């Protein structure tokens, strides 16, 4: 436990002083601020069925495609390129602690970036004097469900990024692999629904599996206050799988 706390503090300091972290943070907040402003502008032009928070979280995949690769691409790849990973594992620790510390540090920073976006609905709600508008702008159910989904899906996205970083010595290759993996997880599952399958028979289970993997459907359920156990199983089991693979690769390729 002491080793984990020590490595976690080290990884948090690395993230805090890394230029890539600030680039990712600034780009993330600028992009999400622009998206939120665009959503508010659409509300002034025509009535909308969903709250601004619900529409805001629907574009979670846009920052995920560039923020997650930027945050994770150097986690293992840079250590291996510099030769510090092998030295690190000669200390009284093990690959599990090293990978876990890197995963937790990146995940906490990822949640911190999303937590900063709470300023958008807070500021807009404070700037209006209409009570009904305040309720719509700062809808607790939509915000809570959206952030819960971001926190849950983030475990899978970050673990995928760490796994891709453990595959190579190049940060660029790790970033490209992470982007491709995220595309397959988020958009690829959506494309699977376009595959024509019979609604009954042996392939009915496959059709149900494709539906189970729909990330956007999970988001809609969470933002509507529908908390199902199946997404938790999907994201957490995927996280554990990528985490185990990362530990094995670090141990074998150190």
pLDDT digits (tens, 9 = 90+) for 130-175: 666 666 677 777 788 888 888 999 999 999 999 999 998 899 999 9
Greater confidence, 124 or 237? 237
CA triplet 115, 108, 218: central angle to 5 degrees? 65
Cα 51 to Cα 21, 94, 130, 189: the distances in Å are 31, 47, 16, 26
What is the reported pLDDT for 123?
81
What is the reported pLDDT for 195?
55
Residue 161 contacts residue 67 (beta carbons within 8 Å): no
Residue 146 contacts residue 226 (beta carbons within 8 Å): no
Return d(Cα 51, Cα 41) in angstroms, integer: 13
What is the reported pLDDT for 192?
57
* HSE toward the beta carbon, residue 84, CA cutoff 13 A: 8
What is the reported pLDDT for 204?
52
65-69, 133-137, 221-225: least confidently modelled range = 133-137
Task: Name all contacts of 47-51 with Cβ < 8 Å and 24+ positions apart.
Answer: 50/142, 51/136, 51/137, 51/139, 51/142
139, two tokens: 């809808």
Dihedral, 39, 190, 114, 7 alpha carbons, nearest 10: -170
What is the reported pLDDT for 36?
87
Going by pLDDT thresholds of 50, 70 and 90, the confidence category of residue 113 is: very high
15, two tokens: 């993230």
Average pLDDT on 64-82 reads: 87
pTM for the complete prediction?
0.86
What is the reported pLDDT for 109?
94
Going by pLDDT thresholds of 50, 70 and 90, the confidence category of residue 107 is: very high
What is the reported pLDDT for 155?
94
Average pLDDT on 45-63 reads: 79
């Amino acid at each position: 436990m002491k080793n984990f706390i020590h490595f976690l503090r080290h990884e948090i300091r690395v993230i805090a002083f890394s230029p890539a972290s600030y680039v990712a943070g600034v780009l993330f907040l600028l992009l999400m601020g622009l998206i939120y402003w665009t959503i508010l502008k659409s509300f002034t032009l025509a009535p909308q069925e969903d709250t601004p928070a619900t529409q805001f979280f629907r574009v979670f995949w846009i920052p995920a495609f560039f923020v997650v690769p930027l945050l994770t691409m150097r986690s293992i790849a840079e250590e291996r390129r510099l030769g510090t990973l092998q030295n690190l594992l000669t200390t009284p620790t093990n690959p599990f602690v090293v990978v876990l510390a890197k995963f937790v540090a990146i995940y906490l920073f990822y949640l911190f970036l999303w937590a900063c976006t709470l300023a958008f609905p807070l500021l807009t709600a404070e700037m209006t004097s209409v009570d009904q508008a305040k309720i719509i702008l700062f809808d607790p159910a939509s915000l809570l469900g959206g952030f819960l989904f971001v926190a849950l899906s983030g475990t899978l996205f970050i673990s995928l990024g760490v796994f891709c970083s453990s595959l190579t010595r190049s940060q660029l290759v790790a970033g490209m692999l992470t982007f491709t993996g995220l595309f397959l997880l988020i958009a690829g599952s959506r494309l699977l629904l376009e595959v024509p399958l019979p609604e009954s028979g042996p392939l009915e289970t496959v059709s149900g599996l494709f539906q189970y993997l729909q990330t956007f459907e999970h988001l809609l359920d969470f933002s509507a206050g529908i908390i199902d156990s199946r997404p938790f199983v999907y994201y957490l089991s995927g996280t554990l799988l990528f985490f185990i693979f990362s530990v094995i690769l670090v141990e074998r390729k150190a």
